[in-house]
Amino acid sequence: KDALKLLITKLRRDLERPDMNIVIGRLSDAGQQKESWGAMRKIQMEIVNEDPSGAWVDVDDLNNREKDGKVINAVHYNRPEGYIILGQRFARQGHALVTGKEPAEDGRPKK
């Protein structure tokens, strides 16, 4: 957690933008069976929740694949529209921060 917070601090310092907003794309649900994966997801959420200039984007619905009739949570997004939705979510969360509005709490902002 400290390393990610330090990265954000250094970016703000180096860019001379202490007010810079941060939007994090939370790790997907693909690797949740690994303890470290779940821990990193938790850390990402803690950081944006502690930072008034922070927001997050949920990607858990963008990596679903179907194989043999079962839904599998892949690491990477599997459809072109997944990348489009991801970009829209980043843009909408960032726009909310820039315009002084509350970012979507669920990480899935609507139009």
Identify the pLDDT of residue 15.
Answer: 98
Instruction: Note if the pTM is more than 0.95.
Output: no
Instruction: Please say if the pLDDT value at position 67 is more than 80.
Output: no
Bin 56: left if φ > 0, else alpha if -120 < ψ < 50, else beta: beta
- E runs forming strands in 2-74: 22-25, 54-57, 64-67, 70-73
Quick: pLDDT tens for 5-55: 999 999 999 999 999 999 999 988 887 788 998 999 999 999 999 999 999
Cα(24)–Cα(44) distance, integer angstroms: 7
Identify the pLDDT of residue 4.
Answer: 96
Identify the pLDDT of residue 106.
Answer: 96
Quick: pLDDT tens for 69-96: 666 666 666 677 888 999 999 999 999 9
